[in-house]
Amino acid sequence: MHSSTITVVVLEEPREAEVSIDPRELVWSTCRGSGDGGQHLQKTESAVMLLHVPSGLRVRCESERSQHQNRATALAVLRARLLERVRSEAQASRRDARRAQAGSGQRGDKRRTIRAQDETVVDHVTGRRWSLRDYLRGTWDERR
C-alpha cells in the first residue's frame, strides 16, 4: 500500500527574450544539499537558493552535483514560473472582463423582455412598455 503522492507540474521553458530578469533583482545563496549523497554532499555547498525580490518567488535547486549547473537550472525554473504568473494574470483579467460584459445570465441581468404571446415589450431598466408592432417597426418612443 502506497502512502505517498507526487505532483508533477510541466512548465514551458521560456527563452531569455520572453522574460527579462534584472540581475540586481536576484538574491543568490548556497547551502548543502539534502538527502542521500555521502561525503561529497555533506562537504560542498552545491544547492542553490534564488529569490526574485519584486515577485517574492523563491527557487531551490539541488538536482545536480555542480553549483554552476544548479544556478542555471534555478534561473530557468524562475523564468518559467514568472512567465506562467504573467500568463495566468493576463488570463484572469480577460476572464474578469468577459464576466463583466456577459453578466451572470440570471433573470436580473435582463434588459428587455419581448413577449409575442400578448404582443408586449418591457424595458426592465426604465420600466416602460410598448406594443410589439411598434417595437418591431422601430416607431416606439422612449420618452413616453
84-100 pLDDT tens trace: 898 898 889 888 877 77
Question: Dihedral of CA 2/7/54/14: which sign?
Answer: positive
pLDDT band at 38 (very low <50, low <70, confident <90, very high): low
- What's the start-to-end Cα distance of the chain, in Å? 76
What total number of domains does the chain contain? 2
86 in the same domain as 130:
no
Average pLDDT over residues 2-21: 65
| Assigned C-alpha cell, 136 | 418591431
Dihedral of CA atoms 88, 91, 97, 98 in degrees, nearest 10, equals -140
111 in the same domain as 93:
no
28 in the same domain as 92:
yes
Containing domain of residue 27, as a range? 23-102
- Specify if 144 maps to a domain: no
- Pairwise CA distance, residues 69 & 75, whole Å: 10
pLDDT band at 63 (very low <50, low <70, confident <90, very high): confident
- Specify if 18 maps to a domain: no
93 in the same domain as 59:
yes
